[in-house]
Structure formats: C-alpha cells, structure tokens
C-alpha cells in the first residue's frame, strides 16, 4: 500500500520562513506601507516562534496587500521573489529527502500555515504536487480571479493542520488509518498536534521546544541544515 509523507515548509524544507521573507520582499518593493507592515511582520513572526500567534489576526494583515493588486502583477512579483529569495535557499539535503519519498511512490503533501499564494510555487519547486496552505479568498470564489484580502476555510495552523489533512485525504477517499506508514516532517512546536497523529513523526531542524518534546517521546530528530 502507498505510504504518506507530509512536509512542513518553513525551516523544515527551507532554512528560512517564506511568509516572513515575502513580507520583507513587499516592504523592500514598496508594495505595503514600510514602517507599519515591517513592524507587524516582525511582531507576528516572534509570536509564531513561541506558539502564541493569533492566526486570524495575522492572516488579515498579510493577505490585505494581495487585494490591492491584480493577479498578473502579484504573479510577476512572486516570480521575482522565487528567483531572488527562495530558489537560492533550496538545499540538496531537503530536495533529496522529498525525492526519496517520491521515488518510493509515497503520497506526498506539503502542509504549511503560510498562505498558498506564497507557497504553492515553492511546493512545485520541490516536485510536490499536493499542497495544503491557508487559502486566500478570491473574488466570486474563482481561483484565477483577484484576491479579496480575506482567508477562506480553516487556516492550516496547529490543530487546523489535522483538520485540513483529514479533509484532503477524505477528498481522495482515504484517511490516515488507511496507510501502513505515515510521516510528518516539521521544525515547529506549533506542529506537535499533527506530529502526534502520524506513525513516523520527524522533528526536522526543530526549535528548542520541539527538540525537547521529541527527545522525551523518542521521536527521530533530523538536522538537515547543520551548517546554517
């Protein structure tokens, strides 16, 4: 039977935070009010790292700029963001980890709290076809139309990652229990709820809280980015 491999993104497969980096990119390119947005971006990032992020307040702030520009312009900026910021961070160790699961025929999915506008092209760069992220709402619900600045559905954050994973698997006619083996790779204390649900939780480049939790539970610890 096909096995399941789930991957967090930020500081797990890449040694940076894509959402935080996108915020800085917007500031640097005058897409947002530099002073206020930069301040909010740093504050929310600090809250995330210690596990007290208000995900809905955060998404209201980071998605609002998407509603100010047409999709064509946003897509052009994102291609620049990929070329200048993200692609240089892709590491052979992370690419090899994903390739190992893909080559075994495992069902692979990237699941991240970062919104899908930012992260879907990054998943594609890893060759991961399935991606779950917090979803920006679009005009009339048309996936190709402009963004409204709101979020739609349940954000894929903390317990929301469990809900979104189960809903995605249900859409495929499957559940976690249908797989002989399930993996989830994550760096963050915020992902402990989903890590507890899989047969092979892997604390990957873990923060201090997750590292201590993994050690206490006997989970595998994988340091992909030892040199960073």
Maximum separation of any 2 CA atoms in the chain, in Å: 52
Measured distance CA(203)–CA(220) in Å, rounded: 6
pLDDT in tens, 171-208: 999 999 999 999 999 999 999 999 999 999 999 999 99
**What domains can you pick out in the chain, each with its CATH number?**
4-222 (3.40.50.1000)
Catalytic annotation on 187?
A: no
Candidates 10, 17, 191, 207; catalytic one: 10
Measured distance CA(97)–CA(70) in Å, rounded: 36
Tokens of 65: 């700029």
Measured distance CA(166)–CA(182) in Å, rounded: 13
Can you give the pTM of this predicted structure? 0.93
What separation, in Å, do the N-terminal and C-terminal C-alpha atoms of the chain show? 37
pLDDT in tens, 109-163: 999 999 999 999 999 999 999 999 999 999 988 888 999 999 999 999 999 999 9
Catalytic annotation on 106?
A: no
Measured distance CA(95)–CA(3) in Å, rounded: 19
pLDDT tier for residue 39 given thresholds of 50, 70 and 90: confident
Higher pLDDT, residue 50 or 3: 3
Helix (H) or strand (E) holding 77: helix 71-81
pLDDT in tens, 65-116: 999 999 999 999 999 999 999 999 999 999 999 999 999 999 999 999 999 9
């Amino acid at each position: 039977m096909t096995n399941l491999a789930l991957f967090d993104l930020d500081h797990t497969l890449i040694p940076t935070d894509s959402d935080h980096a996108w915020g800085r990119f917007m500031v640097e390119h005058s897409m947002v009010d530099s002073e206020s947005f930069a301040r909010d971006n740093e504050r929310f990032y600090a809250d995330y790292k210690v596990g007290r992020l208000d995900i809905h307040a955060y998404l209201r702030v980071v998605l609002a700029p998407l509603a100010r520009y047409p999709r064509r312009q946003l897509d052009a900026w994102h291609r620049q963001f990929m070329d200048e910021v993200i692609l240089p961070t892709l590491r052979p160790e992370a690419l090899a980890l994903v390739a190992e699961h893909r080559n075994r025929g495992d069902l692979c999915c990237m699941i991240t709290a970062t919104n899908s506008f930012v992260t879907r092209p990054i998943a594609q760069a890893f060759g991961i076809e399935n991606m779950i992220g917090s979803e920006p709402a679009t005009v009339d619900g048309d996936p190709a139309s402009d963004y409204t600045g709101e979020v739609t559905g349940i954000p894929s954050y903390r317990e929301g990652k469990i809900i979104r994973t189960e809903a995605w698997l249900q859409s495929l006619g499957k559940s976690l229990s249908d797989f002989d083996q399930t993996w989830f790779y994550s760096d963050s204390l915020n992902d402990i709820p989903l890590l507890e649900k899989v047969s092979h939780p892997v604390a990957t480049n873990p923060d201090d809280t997750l590292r201590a939790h993994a050690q206490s539970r006997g989970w595998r610890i994988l340091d992909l980015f030892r040199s960073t």
